[in-house]
Amino acid sequence: MKIAQLGHPILRQQAKALTAAQWKEYAPFFTELQDLMLSHQGVGIAAPQVSESVRAFIVASSPNARYPHAPAMQPTLMLNPEIYWMSETIEKDWEGCLSIPGMRALVPRSTTIKVGYEQLDGQKIQCELTGFIARIFQHELDHLNGIVFLDRADSQDYATESEFRRQLGLN
């Protein structure tokens, strides 16, 4: 499994929904996807990032070298995710992406969202997400719609990874 890099056409495609019949077939893929994300210190990863154009991603916020202030949560696989509601309160914060190594940008996102998704066992989840977790969900959902975080940022808000770390005092 290899992470697709910016410029790869799959990152600009609309991913296809998964049927319940496909979920068990994809279970080993999702385990491998999570392992890959964690090995790269990611806090989320979408199936299209590894050239699998299906509507699935993992949200797995946890403090690490790339995101030292991330809140901790259990990795959560989200199938056919969608946003039902977004707050009008927008906040810019730094984002990076495993498909665009070495770059960060200040990206405006809603601070609170109401979402729905399905789990491998068929359970349908609806919940409200806030803060950094809401940001991850929106970032990963963008991947399913052929959008990368740089598309949402003003080019004046781009920074290299080293400059981002310097500005935040992480070096």
Which residue positions form the known binding site for Fe cation?
97, 139, 143
Q: Which of 82, 128, 140, 161 is catalytic?
A: 140
Average pLDDT over residues 147-156: 96
Beta strands in the chain, from DSSP E residues, in sequence order: 44-46, 56-59, 76-86, 90-95, 103-110, 112-118, 124-130, 158-160
Provide the pLDDT confidence category of residue 68 given band limits of 50, 70 and 90: confident
**What pLDDT does 53 receive?**
95
Average pLDDT over residues 55-79: 92
Burial of 65 from C-beta contacts in 10 A (0-12 / 13-18 / 19+): exposed
- The burial class, CB within 10 Å (0-12 / 13-18 / 19+), for 19 is exposed
Tell me, what's the pLDDT at 169?
79
Q: Each residue of 73-113: pLDDT tens digit? A: 999 999 999 999 999 999 999 999 999 999 999 999 999 99
Binding-site residue ranges: 97, 139, 143
- Whether 171 shows a pLDDT value over 80: the answer reads no
User: Which fold would CATH assign to domain 9-167?
Assistant: Peptide Deformylase (3.90.45)
Residue type present at position 160? T
Rounded to an integer, what distance in angstroms lies between the CA atom of residue 54 and that of residue 15?
Answer: 5
| 3-class SS shares of the chain: helix, strand, coil, % to 5 | 35, 30, 35
Residue 13 has pLDDT above 90, yes or no: yes
Name the pTM for this structure: 0.95
Residue 81: strand, helix, or coil: strand
Question: Please, what is the end-to-end C-alpha distance for the chain in angstroms?
Answer: 30
Domain residue ranges of the chain, discontinuous segments joined by +: 9-167
CB-CB contact of 91 with 112 (8 Å): no
Q: Supply 165's token pair.
A: 């770390």
Assess whether 140 carries a catalytic annotation. Answer: yes
Which residues on neighbouring strands pair with residue 98, listed in sequence order? none
Q: In the structure, what pLDDT confidence band is assigned to residue 28 with cuts at 50, 70 and 90?
A: very high
